[in-house]
Structure 1
Amino acid sequence: MHRPRLEFPEVLVMEILSKLPVRSLTRFNCVCKYWCSSFQTPHFISKHHHNNLKNNNLNLLLIRCDGNNFQPYFSHLSNQKDKQYIVKQKIHLPFFKSATPSVHGACDGLLCLQESSTDKAAIWNPSTREFRILPPSSIQCPPYFSSIQEGRWNLVEVSFRHAAFGFDSKTDDYKVIRFVALTFINSEDEHHFESQVELYSFRSDSWKEIPSPGYTLTHIFLGNNCVDGICYWITECPVFHDFVGPILSFDMANEKFSILSIPEFIGPFSECCFNLLAFNGSLGVITYGSKGIDLWITSEGIWTKQYRIESISGALWPLGFGKNDELFLRNIGTGEVLQFHPSTQELKKLEINTYLDNFQYDTPLLHVYVESLVRITGIQEPKEHIIRQPIRDVSNKSKCEERSA
């Protein structure tokens, strides 16, 4: 006697599937054509992303550079049952083999990668392992400059820095903004600097030049500097270089720059270090030094201290925030990664060491993203770039093999 086949309504099936990780949904693409096509609809993609946000399903990526071969890679951190973070897998970054790229985002589960020494940039979905390589820069040498100087100046360096990645809800478009610095030199070894700005549109897959705001930016932001489609940078004071200038903002929707007053609690560079960051959907500033660590967030222009961490022994550098507002730090002296819980004031050492990444100008950073099915119609990352076996398990396996031998 055959049991009757139990069938669930398709609406309920899609609701259940929208709560699964991307890796499972990728495997289920081959179940039937209806599932495959449903996973690519805007409604399902939005539903899946909303569920991940609601359940706080955050993923932690520590971008690093191997000190042995200088190859950039991501360490995917996994939270074990004992709440101890370890390196779950190691992901090498294709297309960025000669330098460690700057990482911007995450926006709807997407990250933007930018190599500062060249115009090489890409948008990456770490959940689907899909890349979109951005087109070459559209920046041209300023015509007014070359004509005024009558050809006495030579362009010797072009760098691409201070990028930001965000979403324009007005046009339903992802955009990348970056500042291009041009360095000229003449026969008398005199230098002249020009700054230009270009904006990338995901929809048109092209760059366009926009007017430069005329401010000197500092590269001090932690993980992500874009909140609700508005990007932020800290500038240098044009008169006193030891002091901080105003906060520069750029609205992705109207494509206009604006200026915000610098918070009163930020003093000179010599007194403390600080970073801009996106924290729980708000613009934040984290200050740190010998006196401790403070986190401030702003709402409608009013800055409020979120919490304070009293002075911690050792020189610690903030890496970023995790799932439950825990702060990840790096011991500069030993290279160890530590985890600080604001609620318990507990500081825990993790089984992660960044000693090989201990370069003066290359500090690891932590990036947090939510899994997403957003399609970027790019190319698939080669599987050989992903080492999925946990590093700790590999070492344990080797020890077991040695004992059995």
Structure 2
Amino acid sequence: MKAVCKYWCSLIQSPTFVAKHLRHHKNQENLLVHCYHVHGGASALSLFPDAYLAGTSLEYQDHIPTPTSFSTVSTVLGPVDGLVFIYNDHSLMLLWNPATREVKLLPPLVVSSLPLSSPSRTLYSHVFGFGKDPSTNDFKVVCVRDYWDDDLQVWYVPLVSVYTLSSHSWRQFRDYTFSSLRVVKSYTNTYLNGFYYWGGISSCRVFAFDVRNEIFREIRTPDTFKSMQGNLALYNDSLATFAYNRGTETSVDVWVMEAEGCWIKKVSIGPLLNIRRALGSWKTGFIFIETGNMQLALLNPDTKEIRHLGPRINCYCLQVSRYKESLVRLH
């Protein structure tokens, strides 16, 4: 009996079985919602099955993975093959598998290996990315930090730290080609095919981190983006920009990157009332939006019907991602 149990345990933990389970047609997508509340700084992570989105208003069941020190979550990245990266305001980081409930705390970030010892040095800005190396199937977290020196009145060269799950360690280096000051936070998952993407502060640029080679790339966008706001997201398994002009009425254009630097407008919606931003797409072609009063809603691009997905305390940050259960192990 022990031999049989050992065999089955080995089978379901094999990379082949894990990959088949993730892509099985019965492994339905769920909705992962992260809210960061203005009042009190509390956070909420909620998972909803697909069936909920076709029914009545969502009843949020807040869930924060252990340890309890993560009662406040400021950043959620992913999911990537069912794993989620979480960062809080106390500089604690973890990887989380909601399906297996496994949690892995990441080692703390350090700067001692680089010449940044000035007492007037301050961390001015930072940004995270999370993805998978397609050549090794290893998961990586990248953090880019920008430091300013008040006494010297200089910027230090950005410090890049890359965490690898298999080694459970960080590698650090400096990079002149990228800065956290040039990008904005994503409101949904923007990892695709070995690259993690950030939208630029300037709407005419998108930046990418090559997870395999650990290098940064800059991608041009159409000139029309210059006059619009926008959020990066995935749309039908492609990288897309949900561009909009926000005013009394808001129009949303979905631009898909079909090849690097080649953008095609696929959908144009509006003008519509009471839209704060577009957050990403659902598998039915519907689009998640944040309304003017900071509530989550689902927009039908064909009928322009907006269905509110349930009341939520006003949030400073609202993120949504499509999630599938995974058997990927963290230990």
Shorter-chain TM-score category? Answer: 0.7 to 0.9
Q: Which residue of 2 aligns with 1:239?
A: none
Q: TM-score, normalised by structure 2?
A: 0.86
Deviation at 1:246, TM superposition (A): 3.0
Q: Which residue of 1 aligns with 2:46?
A: 75
1:285 aligns with 2:241: yes
- Correspondences of 1:91-170 after superposition (within 5 Å): 91-95=63-67, 96-97=69-70, 99-115=72-88, 117-140=89-112, 142-143=114-115, 154-157=120-123, 161-170=126-135
1:316 aligns with 2:276: yes
Instruction: Give the Cα separation in 1 of the matches to 2:14 and 2:178.
Output: 42
- Correspondences of 1:216-231 after superposition (within 5 Å): 216-231=181-196
User: Considering only aligned residues, what root-mean-square deviation do their CA atoms show, in Å?
Assistant: 2.6
Q: Which residue of 2 aligns with 1:90?
A: 62
CA contact (8 A) 1:320 1:365 kept: no
- Correspondences of 1:188-267 after superposition (within 5 Å): 191-194=153-156, 195-212=158-175, 213-215=177-179, 216-236=181-201, 243-244=202-203, 246-267=205-226
CA gap 1:233/1:349 in 2 versus in 1, 3 angstroms: closer
CA gap 1:80/1:104 in 2 versus in 1, 3 angstroms: closer
CA gap 1:315/1:50 in 2 versus in 1, 3 angstroms: closer
Residue type at the aligned position of 1:168: D
CA contact (8 A) 1:341 1:347 kept: yes
Q: What is the percent sequence identity of the aligned residues?
A: 26
More strand by share: 2
Q: Specify the SS of the correspondent of 1:89.
A: coil
Deviation at 1:81, TM superposition (A): 8.7
Instruction: Give the Cα separation in 1 of the matches to 2:324 and 2:191.
Output: 16
Q: Give CA deviations for 1:123-176 in whole Å, capped at 9, x if unaligned.
A: 111111111111111433742x66xxxx5x5124465x3211111111221111
Instruction: Give the Cα separation in 1 of the matches to 2:161 and 2:284.
Output: 36
Instruction: Give the Cα separation in 2 of the matches to 1:197 and 1:100.
Output: 22
Instruction: Give the Cα separation in 2 of the matches to 1:228 and 1:82.
Output: 30
More helix by share: 1
CA gap 1:200/1:261 in 2 versus in 1, 3 angstroms: same
Q: Specify the SS of the correspondent of 2:273.
A: coil
CA contact (8 A) 2:73 2:86 kept: no
CA gap 1:165/1:84 in 2 versus in 1, 3 angstroms: same
Further displaced range: 281-290 or 74-83: 74-83
CA contact (8 A) 2:43 2:72 kept: yes
Instruction: Give the Cα separation in 2 of the matches to 1:234 and 1:244.
Output: 7
Stretches of structure 2 lacking an aligned partner (at least 5 in a row): none
Instruction: Give the Cα separation in 1 of the matches to 2:90 and 2:112.
Output: 14
Q: TM-score, normalised by structure 1?
A: 0.71
Deviation at 1:207, TM superposition (A): 0.6
Stretches of structure 1 lacking an aligned partner (at least 5 in a row): 1-30, 237-242, 378-405
Q: Which structure has the bigger radius of gyration? A: 1
Instruction: Give the Cα separation in 1 of the matches to 2:77 and 2:40.
Output: 24
The alignment of Structure 1 onto Structure 2 pairs a total of residues equal to: 319
Instruction: Give the Cα separation in 2 of the matches to 1:106 and 1:49.
Output: 12
